[in-house]
Amino acid sequence: MSQEELTVPERVRVVFADQLNLPRSQYIPLDFAQKGEARFCLGTYSLTYSKAITKAPGAGLSTGLPDIFAKFDPSKLRPGWEDNTKIAIADLQVGEKDFDLCGRSALQRAIRLWRQKGLDPMIGLEAEAYIFQRDARGEWVPYDTPGAFLYGTGPFTDPEGLIDEIWASAGRCEIPVESINANFDASQFKLTLRTTDALQACDDFFLFRTMARELLYRRGYLLSFMPKPVVDKGGSGLHIKMSFDKEDGDNALALGSSPNQLSNLASGCIAGLLHHHRGLAGLIAPTVNSYDRLQPASFCGYWANWGYDHRGVAVRIPTERDGSTCIEHRLADCAANPYVTAAAALHAAYLGYENSYTLPDVQTGEGVEDVHTDICTAGNLSESLDFLEADEVLCLALGKTLVDNYVALKRAEIEELDGKSPKQIFDYYIPFV
C-alpha cells in the first residue's frame, strides 16, 4: 500500500526538544490525549547522536532508567503537517516536579525572572539552512539552484518549489512566517519567523524546523541547519532578536528618534551578552562543526563586540528606534535547542542588566581587520565547554544539572568524532541537524 493510500486514525504527536535538539516524540490516539501526558524513558538524556549511552548526570542510569512524563494541555493541541495528526508540545516532569533537563522549562524560568521586573521577553528567530539533494552516487550535495542570488526568490532560486511547500504547510500549522529568501551562497536560505512572546516563538521555531525537514525529506531533499555543511561556502546561524514588552504593551527598548542612544536596559543586556560570550558559545554553538563556522572575518558573532546596524558583530542593534526596536544576538546556530538558546541569552542579558555590567566601546568601521576587542569564542567545542563550565554564574542561572548533562553528552560526542575527516563529521551530523 502506498503512503497516499494510507488512512491514519486521528492521533496526537507528543513532542519535545532534547539536549541534542532532536524532536523526541510519540504518536498516541486522540482519545488517549485527553489525559494530557505521555511517558518517555529518562535514559533518552544519556544518548549521543550515534545512540551511544553516556553516564550523563540526571539521565537516570544509576536509578534504573525511570519514566519521565511529558505533560501538555489537551485543549491546546496544535495543527500538524501529517494527516489526521495534531501536535502537543510537552513540558517534562518527574513526579510532580519540573524535570531539570527540560529546555522548555528552563526557558519558562528565564521568562519568569524578567516578568518579576515587569517586562515580558519577546523573541524573533532568524535561521539559515542549506537544501541538499542526492547525486548519482547517492551522496548529499547542494540543491541545484544555478540562478540563485542573495535575496533571490522564485523559480531561479527554488526550481522545485520547495520553499512554497514549506510556507504553505507553515500556514496550515499556524506558524507565523515573516520572510524567506535565498542567502548569499547557492542552495542556502534565510528563514525568519515573526517576533512574539519568547515561549511561543521557540515553540513555533521548533515545530517549523521539524516540519520543514520532514516535508522536504519526503520529497527526496534534505534541509540541513548544520552550522558549516559545505566547506567552501558560508556558515548557517540562528539570530535571536530580543525585546521586552512593558505591562502596558509598549516596547521597553524603544528609544525615540536618536540613532545612537541606548537605555540602561539595552546597555545592560548587551553588556551581559558580551560578558558571557565565551560561556554562551559552549551552549548555543553546540557541535564540533559549529567551530568551522565560528571564525574571524565570517560575520558570525565570533568576536565579543556590538554595533549599530553592523553585521560584523555578535550583538547588533538594528536601525529601528520605535516599537520594533530589538537587540539581535548573532552567535548561535540551529544545532542548539531553541529553548535553551533563548533561556541562555535571556539569562546573560538579565545578569548584565541586574548587575550593571560595563558596556564595551561600540564597534565601528569594517570589523574584519579592525576589531575593537580581543575576546572571541574558543577554537573548538572542547575549549568552548571549558569556558561554559568556568562561567559558574551563567551555569547556576540555567541550572547546574542541565549544564552538567549537556556537557557530558558533548564530551562524548567530541570523543566519537576525534580524528574523523570533514566528510565523516558531515555524515555524522547530517541526518539530525
Residues 79-134 pLDDT 10s = 999 999 999 999 999 988 999 999 999 999 999 999 999 999 999 999 999 999 99
Closest CA to 346 of 363, 358, 362, 329: 329
- Classify burial at 419, counting beta carbons within 10 Å of its beta carbon; exposed 0-12, middle 13-18, buried 19 or more: exposed
Q: Are 231 and 422 in contact (CB under 8 A)?
A: yes
14-46 as b/e: b if 16+ CB within 10 A: bbbbbbbbbbbbbebeeebbeebbbebebbbbb
What is the residue whose three cell numbers read 568551522? 292
Confidence category of residue 64, pLDDT binned at 50, 70, 90? confident
Residues 351-407 pLDDT 10s = 999 999 999 999 998 888 888 999 999 999 999 999 999 999 999 999 999 999 999
Q: Are 227 and 287 in contact (CB under 8 A)?
A: yes
pLDDT exceeds cutoff 80 at 6: no
Closest CA to 148 of 187, 198, 197: 187
pLDDT exceeds cutoff 80 at 11: yes
The C-alpha atoms of residue 264 and residue 142 are separated, in whole angstroms, by 45
Closest CA to 238 of 294, 278, 197: 294
Confidence category of residue 57, pLDDT binned at 50, 70, 90? very high
pLDDT exceeds cutoff 60 at 340: yes
pLDDT at 325: 87
Closest CA to 144 of 162, 128, 161, 132: 132
Residues 151-180 pLDDT 10s = 999 999 999 999 999 999 999 999 999 999
Residues 274-311 pLDDT 10s = 999 999 999 999 999 999 999 998 889 999 999 999 99
Residues 6 or more apart whose Cβ sits within 8 Å of residue 96? none
**What domains sit in the chain, N to C, each tagged with a CATH number?**
3-102 (3.10.20.70), 110-429 (3.30.590.10)
Residues 6 or more apart whose Cβ sits within 8 Å of residue 266? 253, 255, 317, 327
- The number of beta carbons lying within 10 Å of the beta carbon of residue 390 is 12
pLDDT exceeds cutoff 70 at 233: yes
φ/ψ of residue 393, rounded to 5: -65, -45
pLDDT exceeds cutoff 70 at 2: no
pLDDT exceeds cutoff 60 at 430: yes
N residues, the chain: 433
Arithmetic mean of pLDDT, 37-57 = 96
pLDDT at 356: 95
Q: Please state the three-class secondary structure of 32-55 as a single string.
A: HHHHCEEEEEHHHHHECCCCCECC
pTM: 0.95
Residues 6 or more apart whose Cβ sits within 8 Å of residue 164? 158
pLDDT at 293: 97
